[in-house]
């Protein structure tokens, strides 16, 4: 495992790797991450040429296809770190942090020039809650969400990066009404392409997770990856369940009712009513 850089002074400027899913689908998670960092007096830099870490390809065995993305990540972020324009890279995702700080090094194994730079980046790459707790030792303003909140530990975060105490301590001190669930460290069944390739298993695993969530009476299940969140939220909405899945950044950045309009939480997006008939052209190419 890569050794993380020890900062003498808390970093003042960080580069945000917002991840492709947050960029395209959940900008509110990115905005919440920016808010949390700026509240701590940290300036956020967003390199606009950033794309995707390449995880979908790598995890499916397409290593050759993932290599250009690993190189691209280095090309985008290394100049910022090398020039001191940013002191660290922060990501609101455990699995993308695993990809960029572990698996990129494997992909670039036979490319010494890129490998060296990739290693330098890995040493200053932090998942958001890891950065807030381990590097900034941050004390966050009180958060505010209606109802009970439960934490789901995403697999890469927990078992590749060994980050667990950080998000849990932030939530414990957030003022949110936290509850515990059985098997909070068990996989939700997303697994990247697994969710599509092995739909029946993925959904059965997700439903097992939903049973645990429901049993603890949570209104929000929060986690550090929007990918697992999409899977759980998709199941919750399809089954008209009360609970909502939410990224931890949004939960921690929720401040008071007035701020709600700014944060377009998944809870606010609506599902089709059961009685609502889908349009005919929506059926094209399905079944």
Partner 1 sequence: MRSRIDIEAPFKTRVKQAVANPTLADTLTRATLHLKEQKRLSLEELEAQRLRDQMRQMKAHTLRNLPELLERFEHNVVMNGGRVHWAEDADEANRIIGELAEQHDVRKVVKSKSMATEEIHLNHHLEAKGITCVETDLGEYIIQLAEEIPSHIVAPVIHKRIDEISDLFAEKLSMPRTLDPQALCARARVELRQEFLSADMGISGCNFAIADTGTVCIVTNEGNGRMVSTLPRVYVAVMGIEKLVPTPQDAFLQYQSLTRSATGQRVTVYLSMTSGPKRLEDVDGPEEFHVVLMDNGRSRMLADGYGESLMCIRCGACLNVCPVYRQISGHGYGNTYSGPIGAVISPLLSEEMVRNKDLPYASTLCGACRDACPVQIDLPKMLLNLRHDLVSGKHMPGAERRAMQGFAGVASRPAAYRGTARAARTGTRLLSGFGDRNLRRLPPPLHHWTRQRDFPLMAKQSFREWWTKRSGTRGPAT
Site for partner 1 in 46-85 (CB under 8 A): 46, 48-52, 54, 56-63, 65-66, 68-69, 71-72, 85
235 touching partner 1, by CB under 8 A: yes
CB-nearer residue toward partner 1: 117 or 231: 231
Token duo for residue 84: 């001191």
Q: How far is the CB of 68 from partner 1 (least distance, A)?
A: 4
**DSSP letter assigned to residue 259:** G
129-137, 172-180, 232-240, 253-261 -> range binding partner 1 (CB under 8 A): 232-240
CB-nearer residue toward partner 1: 30 or 167: 30
287 touching partner 1, by CB under 8 A: yes
Alpha carbon separation from 33 to 16, 72, 158, 209, 211 (Å, rounded):
9, 23, 20, 26, 29
Tell me which of 20, 37, 138, 222 binds partner 1, using CB under 8 A: 20
109 touching partner 1, by CB under 8 A: no
Phi/psi-derived region of residue 240, left when phi > 0, alpha when psi is between -120 and 50, beta in every other case: left
Q: How far is the CB of 83 from partner 1 (least distance, A)?
A: 11
β-sheet bridge partners, residue 247: 223
H or E element: which one contains 89?
strand 88-91
Number of C-beta neighbours around residue 109 at 10 A: 11
CB-nearer residue toward partner 1: 105 or 178: 105
Total chain residues near partner 1 (CB under 8 A): 84
CB 107, CB 7: distance < 8 Å: no
Tell me which of 2, 203, 214, 255 binds partner 1, using CB under 8 A: 203
Pick from 2, 1, 22: which is nearest to 121 by CA? 2
Q: How far is the CB of 57 from partner 1 (least distance, A)?
A: 5
CB-nearer residue toward partner 1: 176 or 248: 248
Q: How far is the CB of 177 from partner 1 (least distance, A)?
A: 26
Site for partner 1 in 123-162 (CB under 8 A): 155-156, 158-160
Site for partner 1 in 28-47 (CB under 8 A): 28, 30-31, 43-46
119-127, 167-175, 252-260, 276-284 -> range binding partner 1 (CB under 8 A): 276-284
- Cα angle at 190 between 189 and 195, to 5 degrees? 100
Q: How far is CA 244 from the centre of its chain?
A: 16
112-122 helix and 63-82 helix, angle to the nearest 10 degrees:
60
Binding-site string for partner 1 from residue 163 to residue 202, where x marks contact by CB under 8 A and - marks none? ----------------------xxx-xxxxxxxxxxxxxx
CB-nearer residue toward partner 1: 45 or 178: 45
- Cα angle at 25 between 29 and 257, to 5 degrees? 40
Token duo for residue 227: 């990918």
80 vs 65: CA distance, rounded Å:
25
26 touching partner 1, by CB under 8 A: yes
């Amino acid at each position: 495992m890569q050794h993380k850089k020890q900062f003498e002074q808390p970093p003042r400027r960080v580069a945000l790797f917002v991840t492709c899913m947050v960029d395209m689908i959940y900008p509110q998670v990115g905005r919440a991450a920016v808010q949390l960092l700026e509240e701590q007096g940290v300036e956020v830099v967003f390199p606009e040429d950033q794309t995707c870490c390449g995880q979908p390809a790598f995890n499916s065995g397409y290593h050759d296809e993932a290599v250009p993305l690993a190189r691209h990540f280095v090309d985008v972020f290394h100049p910022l770190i090398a020039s001191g324009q940013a002191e660290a890279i922060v990501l609101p995702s455990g699995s993308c942090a695993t990809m960029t700080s572990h698996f990129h090094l494997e992909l670039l194994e036979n490319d010494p020039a890129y490998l060296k730079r990739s290693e330098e980046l890995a040493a200053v790459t932090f998942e958001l809650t890891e950065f807030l707790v381990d590097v900034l030792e941050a004390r966050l303003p009180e958060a505010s969400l209606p109802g009970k909140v439960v934490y789901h530990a995403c697999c890469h975060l927990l078992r590749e990066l060994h980050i667990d105490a950080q998000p849990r301590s932030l939530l414990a001190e957030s003022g949110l009404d936290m509850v515990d669930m059985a098997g909070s460290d068990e996989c939700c069944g997303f697994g990247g392409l697994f969710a599509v390739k092995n739909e029946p298993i993925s959904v059965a695993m997700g439903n097992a997770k939903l049973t645990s969530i429901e049993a603890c009476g949570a209104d929000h299940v929060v986690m550090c990856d929007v990918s697992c969140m999409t899977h759980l939220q998709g199941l919750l909405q399809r089954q008209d369940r009360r609970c909502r899945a939410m990224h931890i950044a949004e939960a921690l950045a929720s401040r008071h009712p007035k701020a709600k309009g700014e944060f377009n939480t998944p809870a606010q997006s609506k599902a089709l009513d059961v009685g609502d008939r889908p349009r005919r052209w929506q059926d094209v190419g399905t079944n």
